[in-house]
């Protein structure tokens, strides 16, 4: 299965080496999470442990069988060695451990690395976990101020720009170059809320309308409050294994990355942010094309994030993502169900785990274990995470072994 | 703040927008470094921009991230393409649009001189 050699695509050739590609063996054999929202009294470690317990239970694996550990970061626990702090707390003695930091792309990057580790034979069972009490562990102002440091410390932060402002700048330019309206953006916020309504663990479930989004509090034009994800507490864990579980194989069939800039003022073009390059790498490696994808887990820190990613990856033409939404394609019964858990915009955002929730939901959809949210029979998912200001891009292709 | 960027902010205090020019390859860079991003050369000279440019992107910020800026909200953040071919973040006057020709001025906020662009 899969391509024997990289087909070198036009715009990604400088990132590829013309080497034969093997089919890497790595399966997501368990997923676990906490509900997202407010969990007063919990810490990053207690939330991570709850998600880890759920993932191990889902996989039917004993804690002692975990031999690799990858952790994200937690703004409420900014430790030098979060992975081994968690290992000691949780009672693991892995042969391989570290924490990884790539903003919102961390979860996809950890899954990609876990895949390499089990394929290389370094580990058999890698626990990938992240979580934090981002909402209840600090004031909202402290969280917003911490996140604003994503900006350039010398050339952006001094102007009083915030994370929504960085994305708003990007949005203003994208909406100048392509026919995208504030109503188009609002449609995505409404869709995510509708999906979250079907998930008992979602942070925000109360239905909203396009009018509600447009009338919500101004944050950084053109973005309003309901174009922005909430700040949540929560955790997600995945178990990445060398062997499939009996009767259930959801394989990480391809992965790819692209990193073209860090800061919004260093973006060369809003039409080439790296998403398409990462997604094409992942799909080439999996030996699939966009036409083979039948489920989407796409990062959605803001409504504009989701719209740009869908259009850059090529799931919709430029300026046409909202029309595709309007046609019903992104609904659970549509051709390409999108973030059926509600995404960051409504399931919630607690940092690294927020981006991992897209992976967990994709695995559940492929495994046909999404319960009331099950979107029919899905075979091949594209999951995409981005960190910074659409800076770091990591794509995964997940396939169900048939 | 690194010592290179400090030179930029000293320029703002003096009413100047300063950037780096590589003596070896003539490349320009706005985010100051000890080396040229294009050729790696270590001999960089400071130059002063004319102060005119075109609005590339903008946002009116209603929700400020710090107390220091809350008093100023709403304020406009812009990305401006300077005529020298460099892009920078700054403040902008209310009512600007993408594509507007603008000219840099300066205002003091929180003890720092910040560039703010207005229609030229």
Quick one: B12 and B64 in the same domain? no
Flag whether residue B116 sits within 8 Å of chain A, measured between CB atoms. no
Q: Tell me the residues of chain B between 23 and 42 that have a Cβ less than 8 Å away from chain A.
A: 30-32
Quote the percentage of chain A above a pLDDT of 90.
Answer: 89
Distance CA A288, CA A314 (A): 14
Quick one: B43 and B59 in the same domain? no
Helices (H), A243-351: 275-286, 303-313, 321-326
Quick one: B16 and B62 in the same domain? no
Quick one: B7 and B41 in the same domain? yes
Best CA proximity match to B79, nearest among A145, A163, A312, A165: A165
Quick one: B42 and B66 in the same domain? no
Q: Select the residue of B62, B98, B114 nearest A172 (Cβ to Cβ).
A: B98
Strand partners, B75: B61
3-state secondary structure of B87: strand
Q: What is the pLDDT of residues A137-171, one digit of tens each?
A: 988 788 877 777 789 999 999 999 999 999 999 99
Distance CA A305, CA A171 (A): 8
Q: Please judge whether B5 and A154 are an interchain contact, meaning their C-beta atoms are less than 8 angstroms apart.
A: yes
pLDDT at B40 over 60: yes
Work out how many domains chain B is built from and give that number. Answer: 2
Give the pLDDT mean for A34-63. Answer: 97
User: Which domain, by its residues, includes B29?
Assistant: 3-48
Mean residue pLDDT of chain A comes to 93
Quick one: B79 and B114 in the same domain? yes
pLDDT at A20 over 60: no
Quick one: B44 and B59 in the same domain? no
CATH number at residue B93: 2.40.50
Quick one: B40 and B56 in the same domain? no
Quick one: B58 and B40 in the same domain? no
Please give the CATH number for the structural domain made up of A24-136+231-400. 3.40.47.10
Q: Tell me the residues of chain B between 46 and 105 that have a Cβ less than 8 Å away from chain A.
A: 56-66, 68-69, 72, 74-75, 77, 79, 87-91, 98-99
pLDDT at A102 over 80: yes
Q: Please judge whether B62 and A218 are an interchain contact, meaning their C-beta atoms are less than 8 angstroms apart.
A: yes
DSSP line for A219-260: EETTEEGGGBPPP-EEEEEEEEESSPBTTB-EEEEEEEEEE-
pTM: 0.94
Quick one: B86 and B101 in the same domain? yes
Quick one: B15 and B56 in the same domain? no
């Amino acid at each position: 299965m899969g391509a024997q050699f990289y087909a070198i695509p036009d715009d990604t050739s400088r990132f590829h080496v013309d080497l034969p590609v093997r089919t890497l063996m790595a399966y997501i054999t368990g997923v676990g999470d906490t509900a997202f929202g407010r969990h007063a009294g919990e810490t990053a470690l207690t939330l991570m442990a709850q998600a880890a317990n759920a993932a191990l239970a889902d996989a039917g694996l004993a804690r002692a069988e975990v031999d690799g550990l990858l952790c994200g970061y937690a703004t409420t626990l900014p430790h030098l060695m979060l992975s081994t702090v968690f290992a000691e707390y949780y009672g693991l003695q892995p042969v391989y451990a570290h924490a990884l930091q790539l903003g919102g792309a961390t979860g996809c990057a950890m899954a990609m690395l876990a895949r390499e580790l089990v394929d290389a034979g370094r580990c058999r069972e890698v626990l990938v976990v992240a979580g934090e009490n981002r909402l209840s562990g600090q004031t909202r102002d402290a969280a917003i101020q911490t996140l604003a440091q994503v900006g350039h410390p010398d050339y952006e932060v001094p102007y009083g720009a915030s994370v929504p402002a960085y994305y708003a700048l990007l949005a203003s330019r994208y909406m100048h170059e392509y026919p995208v309206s504030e109503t188009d953006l609002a449609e995505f916020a409404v869709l995510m809320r509708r999906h979250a309504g079907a998930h008992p663990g979602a942070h925000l479930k109360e239905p909203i309308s396009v009018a509600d989004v447009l009338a919500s509090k101004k944050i950084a034009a053109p973005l309003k409050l309901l174009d922005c994800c909430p700040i949540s507490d929560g955790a997600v864990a995945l178990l990445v294994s060398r062997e499939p579980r009996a009767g259930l194989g959801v394989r990480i069939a391809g992965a790819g990355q692209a990193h073209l800039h860090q800061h919004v003022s260093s973006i060369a073009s809003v039409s080439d942010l790296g998403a398409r390059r990462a997604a094409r790498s992942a799909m080439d490696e999996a030996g699939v094309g966009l036409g083979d994808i039948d489920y989407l887990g796409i990062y959605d820190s803001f409504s504009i994030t989701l719209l740009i990613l869908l259009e850059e990856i090529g799931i919709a033409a430029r300026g046409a993502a909202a029309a595709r939404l309007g046609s019903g394609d992104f609904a659970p019964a549509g051709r390409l169900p999108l973030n059926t858990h509600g995404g960051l915009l409504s399931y919630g955002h607690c940092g690294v785990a927020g981006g991992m929730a897209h992976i967990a939901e994709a695995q559940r959809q492929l495994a046909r274990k999404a319960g009331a949210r099950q979107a029919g029979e899905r075979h091949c998912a594209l999951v995409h995470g981005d960190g910074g200001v659409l800076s770091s891009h990591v794509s995964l292709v997940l396939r169900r072994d048939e | 703040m690194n010592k290179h960027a400090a030179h930029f902010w000293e320029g703002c205090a003096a009413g100047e927008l300063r950037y780096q020019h590589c003596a070896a390859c003539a490349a320009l860079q706005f985010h100051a470094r000890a080396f040229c991003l294009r050729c790696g050369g270590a001999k960089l000279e400071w130059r002063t921009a004319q102060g005119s440019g075109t609005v590339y992107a903008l946002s009116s910020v209603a929700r400020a991230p710090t107390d220091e800026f809350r008093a100023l909200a709403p304020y406009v953040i812009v990305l401006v393409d300077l005529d020298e071919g460099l892009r920078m973040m700054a403040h902008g006057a209310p009512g600007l649009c993408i594509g507007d020709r603008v000219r840099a001025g300066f205002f003091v906020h929180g003890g720092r001189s910040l560039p703010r662009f207005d229609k030229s």
